[in-house]
Amino acid sequence: MSLDSLVNRFQEKDIRAYEQLYAMYAENITGVIHTIVRDEQLAQEICQDVFLKIWDKADSYNSSKGRFFTWILNIARNAAIDKLRSKSYKKNKQNLYTDNFVGTLEASMEDDSTPDTSILKSLLKGLKGKCVSVIEMLYFKGYTQKEVAQELAIPLGTVKTRNRDCIGKLRKNMTLLHGH
Amino acid sequence: MDIKDYIASGILELYVAGKLSEKENLEVAAMAQEHAEVRTEIEAIENAILELTRAAAPNTTPDFQEIRDKITVPETKVISMEKSSSAWFSYVGWAASVLLAVGLLWMYNSNQDLRTQVEAASQEKLLLEEQIANANNSLEQTTELLNTIREKEISVISLAGQEVSPSSYAKVYWNKSEEKVYIDAIGLPEPPPGMVYQVWSLKLDPLTPTSVGLLEDFTSDENRIFALTNANESEAFGITLEPAGGSESPTLEQLYTLGVVSS
């Protein structure tokens, strides 16, 4: 079944289509949220909230405006960032802007509960720090192009092409990873 | 536009990130509908992001059952059937299956019709959404224009109708520091074919006209506001009607409006 018809059925409140979409994307969504909140338990909670939300708001998705995954991704990022900004996490707010995957990689060496980072490592292999930051800001942390440009002190127009280069490298690493 | 260049521009990566404006999203969706290459590229980019986000996930994700328990699913009704044992049941059965066959054929046909309708409707929807995006755009432009002419440093010069056309009028908004003038030409009649309005900056003593520019595409510009550059120390502005392409010096018999800059 194509993604389009799966999404259509989901919008008609077909629970099986919903379950299938959950199986497809729940891990990714938890991954994005975890990168933002850095707490496995919390990441799972927020992921659940996100999926409950998309079920209730299924009508509001519109395929002409973007990919289905992009839609959930956006909801998930907002939910995670909202959580971080809420009172109980205020003191850790600083982390939102300084941490990146490097944090995840380092943390995994000390602690078994964090993600298995071997795949992450191979995917990011050879990518420069700036590349990792661009990808992380745009896809994981929801920065706008303008905010990325400011953060990295590069011209606005460069964000688009740099990001394409970086995703290109990521895709190359992906092929290598699956080639073995 | 060349598809390869379009793909290489990096716009599709931002599309997957959800970082484009509503209008750009619609454009990408339209391109994807038209070109298989664009579709494939979008899917490849999404796959890369899926792989990366999955790799960043903790080892466990919540079970779907937990979510299943928390949602409400619209109920489907169960209808119980009663057993029938009469002899004529099989005849009725045959008749029913013939009816069913006819019905299926009819449904197939109307399904085709519906499909065409749905397609047409979704095309129309895309079109309407594009119109909304355009309307938003033009609203933005209008607001920008309004803000521009409201700026502090702007001086406003009213140009009054002259002998050729006493009822004409125009306004000049002049931002001296940015060397820009905005001509509001709503009070000028449409120029005859082959003719064009030309704006002049004038020095009064002695009278020296310098061309500031032409009000090109007069009829197609609905709000009739034209932005031109003016680096002159203007003492007055005038607008004349000239042959297409403009003239070296103003045709004074065709002077439509004139106004002096108050100092």
Q: Check residue A106 and give its pLDDT.
A: 52
- B170-186 pLDDT, tens digit each: 999 998 888 889 999 99
Percent of the residues in chain B that have a pLDDT greater than 90, as a whole number: 48
Prediction ipTM score: 0.87
The dihedral built from the CA positions of residue B90, B95, B96 and B98, taken in this order, carries a sign that is positive
A57 in contact with chain B, both atoms CB, cutoff 8 A: no
Compute the distance between CA of residue B181 and CA of residue B212 in angstroms, rounded to an integer. 9
Cβ-Cβ contacts under 8 Å, A43 against chain B:
58
**Amino acid letter at B214?**
L
Closest alpha carbon within chain A to B69: A52
Q: Which residue segments constitute the domains of chain A, with CATH numbers given? A: 3-95 (1.10.1740.10), 117-179 (1.10.10.10)
Q: Check residue A96 and give its pLDDT.
A: 46
Question: Which pLDDT tens digits describe chain A residue by residue (180 residues)?
Answer: 688 899 999 999 999 999 999 999 999 999 999 888 888 889 999 999 999 999 999 999 988 879 999 999 999 999 998 888 874 555 554 444 445 565 665 555 444 445 567 888 888 888 888 889 999 999 998 899 999 999 989 998 899 999 999 999 999 999 988 875
Report whether pLDDT(B52) > 60: yes
Residue B6 confidence class, pLDDT cut points 50, 70, 90: very high
Q: Check residue A98 and give its pLDDT.
A: 45
CATH of the domain spanning B154-260: 2.60.40
Question: Which is more confidently placed, B50 or B82?
Answer: B50
Cβ-Cβ contacts under 8 Å, B41 against chain A:
none
Of B56, B67, B129, the CB nearest to A64: B129
Compute the distance between CA of residue B59 and CA of residue A104 in angstroms, rounded to an integer. 13
- B85-140 pLDDT, tens digit each: 566 777 888 888 899 999 999 999 999 999 999 988 988 888 888 888 888 888 88
First-to-last alpha carbon distance for chain B, in angstroms, is: 51
Compute the distance between CA of residue A53 and CA of residue B50 in angstroms, rounded to an integer. 20
Helix (H) or strand (E) holding B40: helix B36-55
Instruction: With CA atoms as reference, report the closest residue to B56 among A104, A130, A23, A71.
Output: A104
Using DSSP, state whether B238 is helix, strand or coil.
strand
Cβ-Cβ contacts under 8 Å, A116 against chain B:
59
Q: Check residue B161 and give its pLDDT.
A: 92
CA distance A27 to chain B (A): 6
- B76-100 pLDDT, tens digit each: 545 555 555 566 777 888 888 899 9
Of A119, A144, A171, the CB nearest to B19: A144
Instruction: With CA atoms as reference, report the closest residue to B164 among B261, B251, B260, B259.
Output: B251
> Domain boundaries in chain B?
3-65, 103-150, 154-260
- B39-48 pLDDT, tens digit each: 999 999 999 9
